[in-house]
Structure 1
Amino acid sequence: MHFPHRGQNMTKAFLSHSSSDKEFVRAVANGLGRQFCLFDEQVFDTGETFKLSIEKHLDDSSIFVLFASSESVKRMWIEFEINEAWYRILEGRISRALVFLIDSSIGHEALPPWLSRAKVSRTNAPKIVAREIRQHLDELIRTEQHPYFEGRSDDIGHLQKLLRPIGEPAPRVVGIYGLPNIGKKTFIRKTAQLILSFNRIITVQIEESDGLPDIAIKIANLLEPYSTKAGFDEIVARIKSENKEQLLKRMISDFRVAVENKEMPVLIDDGGVFTSDGFFTDIAKMLIDALKDQGELYIFLVSTRKPIENLLSMQLKPLAIDAVKRLVAEISSTMKPPLTINQISELAEYVNGYPPSAYYAVDQARAYGIDSVLADKHRLVQFRTAVFVKYINSQLMTEEQKSILLTLARYSPLPLQVLADTQGYDAAKLAGDIMILVDRSLIVPNESGLYSIAAPVADAVASEFLSSSDVNHQAIYDSLKILLDDENLELPRLDLYRLLFRASVRSGSKDSTAFHMTNDLIRLTEDYYHRRDYKRCIETAKLALTEAPKSYSARDFLIRSFIQEEQWESAESEIRELEKFASPRDVQFLLGFLERKRGRLQKAITYFLNAEKLGRSGVALKREIASCYYHNDQISEAKKYVNEALATNKDNRFVVDLSIQIAIREGDEQAARSGIEKLAVLDVEPFVKHRLSTVELRFGNIKEALKSARESVEAFDNDRPTFGILAQLATCLTRVGLFDEADVTIQRLSRLYVNQRPDIRLGLACRLEIERKRFSKALEILDNVKDITPIIYEAMRRDAIAGELAIGTMPDEKRIRYQHELDTLNKELSTYDPNEAWFTLIS
């Protein structure tokens, strides 16, 4: 039943129920979150009479929800609530009434006449009830907020034809694929309503190495009627005991429940639906084959990969520029002053066809002014949320707000209580900071009342705050453990248990009882690798591979970590294991990575080109090939691959960085500094300062080079600077004559990277001794270098011999031998560039 809404009350649902149904309704209330409902345990004031509390909170409601059971229809207070709701509907203060029959012994005939005409549903799953109430609340909110859906008319028409083929059975499983962040889920949500008459979609994330039990648990978490710890434990235990046929039967049954409640299931490919070649994984094929035979079910698949298998699918492309302009104009229509036509056009080009970017950019323009969005510096790149995170971080964010963001970037979603336990300051101030971050579109409350980092900014936050103090993983673990040990709390237990497991691993708590899925280990492996914690990456990858021996990602990161740690034989052994099930092009790529790190550039180039011939593509491959050519002094070939990579993604920070290095090599100072300006928008401070230091050193600004090198190292705070960054600082310190500090820096480098690049560490120490005029010691150090083929070592030997001949005493025989060697070296090094040779060696 739907009535015109004319009042000024909050958009909340009043939950009317009997005390005997309290556990069920409590689970619904927790599923909705306090911001969306009025539940007596949460809001009734003990200082007021029950009657006054009912009247007060009905006045604050826009939807009346009755949980009808044989007990509730007998209760006096329920009758009072029903009557009061009826009066408020007549007055236009309540907009809708919903009834949920939660008792098998009650039917429509038991309801008052006016309520029997309301929307009446029968269900026993609190989560389904919460989602339906939330849908109605969202519809009321949308009447004021006006969401926009632009530029998809042709796509809707295309999908309509696919779903209604002439003379053939209508398909039940459909794939939608396209680039990330172009609105695939929004498109499905809209078309599910327009074409198939579903009210909502429910999404199930299928992750790499998910088995049938994992997927069944995720689906049960959305659709089966449990809410307490005991309920969760029981369903997990039951699912883990079931065989393949039982699991498939369970999932089909759960999906039927969803469809009966007008919810369309959508499977999101997060590495578990399609292989890198676009074929179904074995598990996904098993599930899809079972679903295809169920005539009443409709399932959509969402992926960034184009399906190769026999699956009806369509590509969703980024919005055309005219559609983006209309979308930006609609979203910004309430801005004061309004955006001009030119500003709308600039912003449309800036967001580059991605609807979420349009919403986010307009939100930021509304909050901080259009000039901050369209400033020349930021227009060097297409829209990236990292730009706004940088802007907010530099001007508008407190240390406490950064800490909240960093915590949620590692652990989302989290309850307010866990954030309060781990942030260590006043709860009222914490709530205020969270509201500020919500207002800035940086974090979002979900339907369960938990807080998550906004998806578009998660990676940008983790990158921008790389040098900040890390999250207190032990505090996160302790707080989640206390929360989840409460037997009766209705919580989104699957999400929180998985976070508990990650916190236990990161904190070293070694909680063997913590529930997890294999993908949690894979995600931890990836996280450790990107944070350059290669030892822990190796440990975690090995754990993941014991559970999923054919996990490509786990073995890929294991191999890369062995390579980064210069454990060449272990890397080779794991590559042989990978060959048994991975694509040859991926194996060739990793062999290329191995040889590049070993310094065998020509071999690396051969492997990378093989990977390209076998079908591997993308910016990462082109960058690797370009890097090998660059370090192998094949500059024209390097530029070719850099340009190809930039044509694909002109804002890839690694490729932009390599283009700067090429400009340095070619002596093009203007191009190098232009690249630095662009890199400053794309990358984090430590790496920008490092590259700036190499530019300054190459063009003779030694003091500025040292200043930037210091700032680069300092920006890491307590974190571990990279090898190259410390080597650059040692080089600059040596060049300006700060020998003691250079020595300390080289010692620090050796402590942090004891097993890595020994020849380069020896080279740094040798150069330092040459500058100190301790030439005999420099020659002793050079004798320990294993690979003396790089020309830089010949140059250092020349300088050390020349110095020793000038000031040292030695027998004539040795002096004559040194003099002949010096003459030979001078001839060989007549065109030698010491700066460039050293940069190449360190890189």
Structure 2
Amino acid sequence: MKFFLSHSSSDKHIVEKIYAQLGAAICHYDVATFDNTSFLPDQIYEALNESTHFILFASKKALASNWVKGELKRAFGLWMKSQIRQAMVFLIDDGERSEVPDWLQDYVIIEHPSTQHIACRILSVFDEWEKLNGNEPPFYRYSEALELEKKVTTTPNSSATTIMICGTDGYGRKQLINELYKRRFSGVARRKLYISLDEHDSDVNFYRHLIGTLSLLSPIELSEKTKEFIEFSKDDRDETISSTIIAATDAGQLLFLDVGVSGLDDNGKISGWLEGVIAALPNSSYPRLILISARKPVFIPSQLTNKMHLQKLDPLPHEESKLLFSWWLQTLKVQDSAELAENFIEYVEGRPKSIEIAARTLATVEPSQFLRQKINIAKDLQTQASILLKDFTDNHVANIALALVAYSGHISEVDLTEALQTIPAETEESITKALTLLISYGFLLQDSISIRLPGYLNRVARDILNSPAYAEIVKPAIEHLINANSNINLNEKTSVSTIEDFCIAKLRSGQHSIVGIESLILPSQCFRLAKKYYDDQDYEKSFQLCETAYRNRLALTDDSALEVLRFKGLSAARINKQIELTEVLSSFSAHQNSVKARRLHAFIKGFNLRLSGRFDEALKELTIAHNSKGEGDIHILRELSFLHFSSGDIDTAEKFIRTAHSSVDNNVYIIQMLIRVLLARGKSHAIFDESYIWSLIKKLETSQRRSRSWVSSLVKAEFYFTTDDVAAAEAVIDGIPESSAIKILKSKIQIKEGRFNLAREQLAKLKTTIISSQEGQRQTSLPEVCDCLIKASTSISLTEGLQEFDRNIRFLPERTASYWKNFFIEELAYSQVNTSPAQRRLLGLS
């Protein structure tokens, strides 16, 4: 199948953007297809002969062009011979239907003349072709389709305006909607408009994406429209978005809106701005808005009961999962597909996307290695994707593409392709092949605006940027993106995705606002970049961006404004900006009657106290945070687990970390903490739980960032140390960069081997370094170092131990200090050691 794009050179600003969404694999486009060193008419005729579909972009200039007239004449002859099977005519700019040739009149499509709408209409034809050729996965969610069909089968004047599909990523939410509309609303295009909201996006972000599907805008125009929208009342905002949705979905379209986590607030209710939009949408002959959400709202407000249908997707049943797995294996021509489906289905059943990735994984290995792949097949998409990416090791362009998308957040396909073309030795064919492969695996997601990564790949893809294999190779591409997006003409019309890239480029350069168009850069963009900088431990930049975001919080939801304060506070604590941290904490008072504000206030205060080494005070604050509806916050749970672990309360530490792990089982910090808690129970427990601990270490290896690969090595060394295999522990430590954690473990080994003086010497130096530390973890390790110092000194003599205890008691948690007091009191009762009055007062003996 091949589309021929017939157009005037004057219309390239439109057609090139459509071509970017279609790709070279399915269409002929003069700039990409033809060689300017050869005779052009011959190339045009050859391309037409290869084409099955003729697409005419009928502007006034195109219909008057001699080149286009020649293409029309040749296309008519091929159409008469049925060589060209179908045509499509789009009226753009000032094109008149009366000027279109008679043979094409029946092919004129009354479509909104935006690039996104036209591309969707063309790709709908491609999807139908794929289905006829058996390349589309079969549909097995019959019960959900029937249930949803009953809901929408009502009279037009009382039909709902919105459908909300709730289910885990990869459950087949869009496939269900496509099946429903094929049955009930066949006039709707098969390929729909699609917009994805990022975390912390608001109605302002949605409005900008939405108007970007309708037309091209200059940065100045987008800034003016944004400023105007922000100044509207809430009702006017809702009505503006509603009318824009209707305009965008006229002529047989609908809008998929993937709300991610932005669609529901912290309490599981539909976000206030989204609720207003749904309520404002007028009735139509079919629902125009499809919401995709991982979470199901806790309830539907009464004003939306007649406006919205809710459908929850459960895991695909066992038999249907097996059938789908068999189809993928057969389609990918994997040997012994029936036997493989039987043996592997238990690992992937329930989630169609996991089934597809598992089949693709098996398609990459030799048949003799199939059984060994069982440990690599999992329902967890992040783990599965990490494993599958190993098969892309030699595909440099695919890895670089992932890194660039991770770097940009969102990127247009044109910008991504042009950036990849800066990589030496990469051809347009290899780039197209790599992008097609990544999209087919679901590793790149396209919407009507741009390309992005699925959430489960963000961390893995960002690691590629910093990996030794790609750090230098990717630099030219990043420089191209910075140069291409940082100097666009502010008066020139372009796509919203290009303007968004321009905003990110400005933020990365340190420019947080643009004079004269201050509304162009949104606070949500500042915040998302701030979180990336925080993950990369650039806390100063993170703090500055959060400050900018909070200053412009009118364009944020209340929940997002509080999250900005969270990261602003965390960044200030990391770099020890105590004055600024106090200001952050006082800012929470502006969010009155908010349980979340109270929770985050206590969490940040406790986090800062933990970094200061003041564990008892930290525990009080974090307990307040936990009791302020923080039972499900994994960050609070991990902090509480660490504090109880550090004071020797292992039972409570395990309770908190297991709760966190049950919610998120692929977070490296949670896994590491769980392993440490299990090891704290001692040698016999570690040996008993050995298989489980090693499974956690395996999980840690597949989930951790490449830049933090030492974490799994550290816990391996800790396991060997706990089980008295000191030689193995030392062998692992030798390959890990020096850090406080490594130095502490080395000292513990020295104590175990009886080298007490050396251990004490090393720990004393480490204590001095930690006390003077002003950034990062600051004094977090201080209590553990002091505890080890006392242990090493006590092993030398009771007197030395008492002196060390006296010097370090102020750094110890109360529970740890109480342990050592009781220890020394008991030891002194059976020894002849003389104690000073000060030491006796220290122990409470006088």
TM-score bin (small chain): 0.7 to 0.9
Distance (whole Å) between structure 1 residues aligned to residue 576 and residue 244 of structure 2 = 49
Structure 1 residue 754, shift from structure 2 partner? 7.9
**Alignment match, 1:552:** 562
Structure 1 residue 448, shift from structure 2 partner? 9.2
> 1:591 and 2:602 equivalent?
yes
**Alignment match, 1:172:** 161
Q: 1:65 to 1:778 in 2, by over 3 A?
A: farther
Distance (whole Å) between structure 2 residues aligned to residue 743 and residue 451 of structure 1 = 52
Unaligned runs of 5+ in 2: none
> 1:323 and 2:323 equivalent?
no
**Alignment match, 1:14:** 4
**Alignment match, 1:674:** 691
Pick one of 623, 627, 631 that aligns with 1:610. 627
Structure 1 residue 328, shift from structure 2 partner? 0.9
8 Å contact from structure 2 (residues 196, 260) kept in 1: yes
> 1:351 and 2:351 equivalent?
no
**Alignment match, 1:539:** 544
8 Å contact from structure 2 (residues 195, 258) kept in 1: yes
Structure 1 residue 254, shift from structure 2 partner? 3.4
Q: Specify the SS of the correspondent of 1:495.
A: helix
Distance (whole Å) between structure 1 residues aligned to residue 743 and residue 260 of structure 2 = 37
**Alignment match, 1:816:** 834
Distance (whole Å) between structure 1 residues aligned to residue 432 and residue 44 of structure 2 = 30
Distance (whole Å) between structure 2 residues aligned to residue 500 and residue 212 of structure 1 = 21
Structure 1 residue 222, shift from structure 2 partner? 1.1
Q: 1:158 to 1:420 in 2, by over 3 A?
A: closer
| Matches for 1:558-577 after TM superposition, within 5 Å | 558-562=568-572, 574-575=584-585, 577=587
Distance (whole Å) between structure 2 residues aligned to residue 145 and residue 319 of structure 1 = 21
Pick one of 768, 783, 786 that aligns with 1:760. 783
Structure 1 residue 221, shift from structure 2 partner? 0.9
Q: 1:13 to 1:558 in 2, by over 3 A?
A: same
Using structure 2 for the length normalisation, give the TM-score: 0.79
8 Å contact from structure 1 (residues 782, 793) kept in 2: no
Q: 1:113 to 1:93 in 2, by over 3 A?
A: same
Structure 1 residue 219, shift from structure 2 partner? 0.7
Structure 1 residue 255, shift from structure 2 partner? 2.4
Structure 1 residue 536, shift from structure 2 partner? 3.3
8 Å contact from structure 2 (residues 88, 108) kept in 1: yes
Q: 1:785 to 1:457 in 2, by over 3 A?
A: same
8 Å contact from structure 1 (residues 729, 745) kept in 2: no
Distance (whole Å) between structure 2 residues aligned to residue 402 and residue 418 of structure 1 = 13
Distance (whole Å) between structure 2 residues aligned to residue 117 and residue 399 of structure 1 = 46
8 Å contact from structure 2 (residues 317, 350) kept in 1: yes
Q: Specify the SS of the correspondent of 1:279.
A: coil
Pick one of 54, 76, 85 that aligns with 2:75. 85
Deviation digits for residues 63-92 of structure 1 (CA, Å, limit 9, x no counterpart): 101223444444444333223223333444
| Matches for 1:202-217 after TM superposition, within 5 Å | 202-207=193-198, 210=201, 212-217=203-208
Q: Greater CA deviation, 235-244 or 178-187?
A: 235-244
Q: 1:726 to 1:605 in 2, by over 3 A?
A: same
Pick one of 725, 731, 740 that aligns with 1:707. 731
Q: Specify the SS of the correspondent of 1:64.
A: strand
Pick one of 698, 701, 715 that aligns with 1:691. 715
Report the number of matched residues: 793
8 Å contact from structure 1 (residues 204, 268) kept in 2: yes
8 Å contact from structure 2 (residues 20, 413) kept in 1: no
> 1:281 and 2:271 equivalent?
yes
Distance (whole Å) between structure 1 residues aligned to residue 784 and residue 460 of structure 2 = 33
Distance (whole Å) between structure 2 residues aligned to residue 781 and residue 348 of structure 1 = 58
Distance (whole Å) between structure 1 residues aligned to residue 374 and residue 694 of structure 2 = 8
Distance (whole Å) between structure 2 residues aligned to residue 369 and residue 409 of structure 1 = 32
**Alignment match, 1:808:** none
Q: Specify the SS of the correspondent of 2:258.
A: strand
**Alignment match, 1:483:** 484
Amino acid at match of 1:494: V
Q: 1:278 to 1:219 in 2, by over 3 A?
A: same
Distance (whole Å) between structure 1 residues aligned to residue 750 and residue 506 of structure 2 = 42
Deviation digits for residues 330-371 of structure 1 (CA, Å, limit 9, x no counterpart): 111134453454531443322242222221221121123577
RMSD of the alignment, in Å? 4.8
Q: Specify the SS of the correspondent of 2:330.
A: coil
Pick one of 221, 228, 233 that aligns with 1:234. 221
Distance (whole Å) between structure 1 residues aligned to residue 147 and residue 182 of structure 2 = 16
Amino acid at match of 1:542: E
Structure 1 residue 560, shift from structure 2 partner? 3.7
Higher relative contact order (CA 8 A, sep 6+): 2
Q: 1:234 to 1:609 in 2, by over 3 A?
A: closer
Structure 1 residue 505, shift from structure 2 partner? 3.7
Q: 1:192 to 1:166 in 2, by over 3 A?
A: closer
Q: Percent identity?
A: 17
Q: Greater CA deviation, 438-447 or 338-347?
A: 438-447
Q: 1:144 to 1:468 in 2, by over 3 A?
A: farther
**Alignment match, 2:678:** 663
Structure 1 residue 771, shift from structure 2 partner? 10
Structure 1 residue 626, shift from structure 2 partner? 5.3
Q: 1:90 to 1:779 in 2, by over 3 A?
A: farther
Structure 1 residue 819, shift from structure 2 partner? 11
8 Å contact from structure 1 (residues 710, 729) kept in 2: no
Structure 1 residue 161, shift from structure 2 partner? 1.9
Structure 1 residue 399, shift from structure 2 partner? 7.7
8 Å contact from structure 2 (residues 193, 447) kept in 1: no
Using structure 1 for the length normalisation, give the TM-score: 0.79
Structure 1 residue 676, shift from structure 2 partner? 3.5
Distance (whole Å) between structure 2 residues aligned to residue 767 and residue 143 of structure 1 = 76
Distance (whole Å) between structure 2 residues aligned to residue 408 and residue 729 of structure 1 = 40
Amino acid at match of 2:496: L
| Matches for 1:759-838 after TM superposition, within 5 Å | 759-760=782-783, 763=786, 766=789, 770=793, 779=803, 783=807, 786-789=810-813, 816-817=834-835
Deviation digits for residues 606-631 of structure 1 (CA, Å, limit 9, x no counterpart): 436524xx585376666566555555
8 Å contact from structure 1 (residues 521, 541) kept in 2: yes
Unaligned runs of 5+ in 1: 1-10, 715-720, 804-813, 828-843
Distance (whole Å) between structure 2 residues aligned to residue 50 and residue 207 of structure 1 = 45
Q: Specify the SS of the correspondent of 2:256.
A: strand
